[in-house]
Amino acid sequence: MTRIQSAMFFVALVATAMISALPAQAKGDPAKGQAAATVCAACHGPTGNSVIAMYPNLAHQHPEYIAKQLAEFKSGARVNAIMAPMAAGLTPEAMQDLAAYFSEQKLVIPGAQNLDLAQKGRKLYRGGDASRKLPACASCHLATGAGIPSQYPRLGGQHRDYTIAQLKAFRSGDRANDPNSMMRMIASKLTDQEMTELAEYLAGLH
């Protein structure tokens, strides 16, 4: 087992232990979420599969992550001029309902368009870069891009443009709602080209 693989294994063990220690969260009502999701459909599609690459796919995302982002859009912890007013009127229960609905929907994978970029992105995603102390993305988001519920979001099958925009927002500090500044630290080490390569790979990952 290589040093990077050992580090990935250790992170996975820690994350699993953290998840087991978390208190149980109330689960939302998907039926109520579906009714409320009509407002979300213009940007994210009726089933959470956005046809506009600047808006994220929400389908099959972890419900804990969706609810967290909605709460932070409302509180201002995550700044977004479009989502802040959308989340402003949502109760915690409504957030859980929306999260439950979108998490149950089937994700439509956009697919990579440039295989050369995707291959380069795969190498960085799975192996990181030890020379720059850049961890493998797979350490937290798993080799399949599925993420870990309650901890790390699903990245596989996300739109390329959206992924690039979020990495740049983490790098600039415009997005600062990541626990322990982890994503800001990682994004600060990535070049624009590497962000494009990662995003290309993730668009086809499932």
Residue where a domain stops, chosen among 62, 85, 103: 103
Residue 72's domain comprises 30-103
Residue 99 counted as domain residue:
yes
- Contact at 8 Å (CB) between 175 and 158? no
CB 170, CB 159: distance < 8 Å: no
List the chain pLDDT tens, one digit each, 206 residues.
454 444 444 444 444 433 433 334 559 999 999 999 999 999 999 999 999 999 999 999 999 999 999 999 999 999 999 999 999 999 999 999 999 999 999 999 999 999 999 999 999 999 999 999 999 999 999 999 999 999 999 999 999 999 999 999 999 999 999 999 999 999 999 999 999 999 999 999 99
- Rounded Cα–Cα distance for residues 112 and 123 (Å): 15
Residue 47 domain flag: yes
Would residue 21 count as lying in a domain? no
Which among 103, 124, 141 is the end of a domain? 103
Question: 118 and 198, same structural domain?
Answer: yes
In a domain, 56, yes or no: yes
82 plus 135 within the same structural domain: no
**Residue that the structure tokens 């089933």 belong to:** 47
Q: Are residues 95 and 47 in the same domain?
A: yes
Do residues 8 and 55 both lie within one domain?
Answer: no
CATH code of the domain containing 143: 1.10.760.10
Please say which residue of 103, 130, 158 terminates a domain.
103
* 169, part of any domain: yes
Q: How many CB atoms lie within 10 A of CB 88?
A: 9
For residue 137, tell me if it sits in a domain: yes
Specify if 121 maps to a domain: yes
Number of domains in the chain: 2
